[in-house]
Amino acid sequence: MKRFGWMLLAIGIAFTACAPNNVKEEKSWEKYFTRFKVEGTFMLFNNAQGEFKVYNLERAKERFTPASTFKIFNSLVGLQTGVIGDTGMVIPWDGVVRNMPGWDQDQSMAQAFKVSDVPYFQEVARRVGKQNMQLWLDSVKYGNMKISKIDTFWLDNSLQISPDEELGFVKKLYFDQLPFAKTNMKSVREVMLVEKTPQYELSYKTGWGRSGAKNIGWIVGWIEENRHPSFFVLNIESEDPKFDMVAARKAILHDILTEAGYFKGEM
């Protein structure tokens, strides 16, 4: 890898405060992507050790639609502006049958986040409004900060963000370093918790969008062991219309973290 490439990555991940000599390219992780016949990247930053590992550096700098990973940002803005009173605030179902598990009913914010209910968060964005949403995108410098239609811009490829930018964003969220009230950041961290065991806590948000014929998949978050967080971003793509995105994302995440030594409470 050319030194210039590492320098670009270091600039792009200013949030993570990694120097180029802290970065290790993990070619061995390629097998997990090959298994599912996908292109992708995985980034892993061990905060305690200052160790940063990347598979597919070039893709890590490329921007994509955030899809439902934007629910992290949308939740923060909703709570900060008062559009969402708290994580228990219910928005009534609009009556449109979408045949998605858990969507066709009244939802609290916490419930909507867990089932990735797009209509709930579209309504949140409409209530926030384009001007306020733009202000927060600019303040956080979230991706390319572009809004088209207020209730689809994170789904229609207007707003785009790179994996390294996503990593910096969730790292700042974990450490209360975003320009939101600490109580609101804590609330969002709580709804991101997916697994909790005596050995580890796993927190993340998934995303699944489209760019032309490509299915774009994300998992963005952190794993915490012994109060030591490690931040990760998985980004993959497939043009196979029958591709099982849900299963592939989860398997790749689990396999890479397992190879890296996680899930045992020893990190």
Burial class, 9, CB count within 10 angstroms (exposed 0-12 / middle 13-18 / buried 19+): buried
The two tokens of residue 105 are 């009913």
Q: What is the dihedral of CA 79, 85, 87, 92, to 10 degrees?
A: -120
Residue 203 a catalytic site member: no
**Of the listed 68, 116, 187, 238, which one is catalytic?**
68
Residue-wise DSSP of 109-144: HHHHHHTT-HHHHHHHHHHH-HHHHHHHHHHHT-TT
Cα 229-230-234 angle, rounded to 5 deg: 140
Three-state SS for 94?
A: coil
Residue bearing tokens 């600039």? 11
d(CA 144, CA 134): 11
Burial 52-71 (b: 16+ CB within 10 A, else e): bbbbbbebbbebbbbbbbbb
Closest CA to 203 of 227, 180, 177, 231: 231
Task: Tell me the catalytic residues.
Answer: 68
